[in-house]
Amino acid sequence: MALPCSPTRHCSLLLLVAGVLLLLLVGSMRPCAATLDEDIELIWGASHTYFFMDGPDTESLALSLDEQQGSCFRSKNTYLYGTISMDIKLVEGNSAGVVATIYTISEGPWSYHDEIDLEFLGNVSGQPITLHTNVFANGVGGREQQFYLWFDPTADYHTYTIEWNPKYILIRVDGKAIRAFKNYEDQGVPYPTWQQQRVYGSLWDADEWATQGGAIKTDWSNAPFVAYYRNYNTTWCRPSPGVSWCGAEPKDSPRFDLDQQTLTDLQWVNANYRIYDYCTDHKRFNESEFPKECYLQRAGL
């Protein structure tokens, strides 16, 4: 809203400007909790979605899918390094064939696009939902890891986070690290370092592959399928003091090294809940054909 400009309000206006600058400075130093209908936009299936108040102070978005159409939103902003998180409650009951997503993707040509994927593959009632993750860099993907979760993701909201910095892409669930993809660009492995990415969330039908390799199809008698999203938060990547931005962080800086708790979480999840890792898929790759980062990880680099 534009403020009237007059001599009697000159001091007040100066104070207001100073206050706004202070708020902007403080806001740049802490997580930003986005108001959903201001910071995301619906791009398809608007007739299948609705915003609602989930409690006195929490705005949520319901995405739905029926036999005619699914639904999708995207962020209005794009990001180059940062932390993005959202609370999601997945489709209840028989969700075989249905996929809910939260992911980031660049907007340049597909041949060299970057993407960080979290896809939740539905299942028949009583069977676990699979969290399917993948990373694309410069158009190169095929870096899938899949996980079961240690809770029922349809019973309540849980927080899913993409943490992207110049050294690692971390995927967290309720704050617990489940996957770390390291930057080996200096070894010739592509890594997302220069393209801004936009956040997307969607609910769609993928019964040709999503559940048991496509063996179980979507049961449309259970439609509409509904997944709920809330608490969209973004935090810009913070470099070391004196460094202009995260992309300028010195390569030997320990700024983005993994702490002991993160390493412990990764070990626990990988031992108990990881069900697929492309770096151990000997049916897919001959020993000499694994992606280069797989050998580097085995060597502890």
Q: Is residue 183 part of a domain?
A: yes
Specify if 23 maps to a domain: no
Euclidean distance between CA atoms 68 and 52, whole angstroms: 23
Whether pTM exceeds 0.75: yes
| 49 falls within a domain | yes
pLDDT for 56: 84
Give the tokens for residue 64.
């739905």
Which residues are bridge partners to 158 per DSSP?
A: 88
Structure tokens at 141: 């993907």
The CA-atom distances, in angstroms, between 146 and each of 48, 108, 287, 289 are 29, 27, 21, 21
Please give the tally of structural domains in the chain. Answer: 1
Q: What is the pLDDT of residues 165-203, one digit of tens each?
A: 999 999 999 999 999 999 999 999 999 999 999 999 999
Dist. CA 34–CA 84, nearest whole Å: 11
Which residue range forms the structural domain that includes residue 42?
35-247+256-299
Catalytic pick from 41, 67, 92, 115? 115
pLDDT of residue 30: 41
Note whether residue 3 is domain-resident.
no
Q: Indicate whether 181 belongs to any domain.
A: yes
Residue 234 lies in a domain: yes
- Annotated catalytic residue 119: yes
Q: Which of 59, 92, 107, 119 is catalytic?
A: 119
Digit-coded pLDDT (tens) for 200-233: 999 999 999 999 999 999 999 999 999 999 999 9
DSSP class per residue in the chain? -PPP--GGGHHHHHHHHHHHHHHHHHHTTS-EE--HHHHEEEEE-GGGEEEEESSSS-EEEEEEE-SS--EEEEEEEEESSEEEEEEEEPPPS--TTEEEEEEEEE-S-GGG--EEEEEEE--STTSPPEEEEEEEBTTB----EEE--SS-TTTS-EEEEEEE-SSEEEEEETTEEEEEEE--GGGT-----S--EEEEEEEEE-TTTTTGGGTS---GGGPSEEEEEEEEEEEE----TT-SSGGGS-TT--TTPPPHHHHHHHHHHHHHTEEEEGGG-TTTS-TTTS-HHHHHHHTT-
What per-residue confidence (pLDDT) applies to 38? 87
Q: What is the CATH number of the domain that holds 282?
A: 2.60.120.200
Tens-place pLDDT, residues 69-99: 999 999 999 999 999 999 999 999 999 999 9
18 occurs within a structural domain:
no
pLDDT recorded at residue 37: 83
- Residue 59 is a catalytic residue: no
Per the domain annotation, does 2 fall within a domain? Answer: no
d(C-alpha 179, C-alpha 79), whole Å: 20
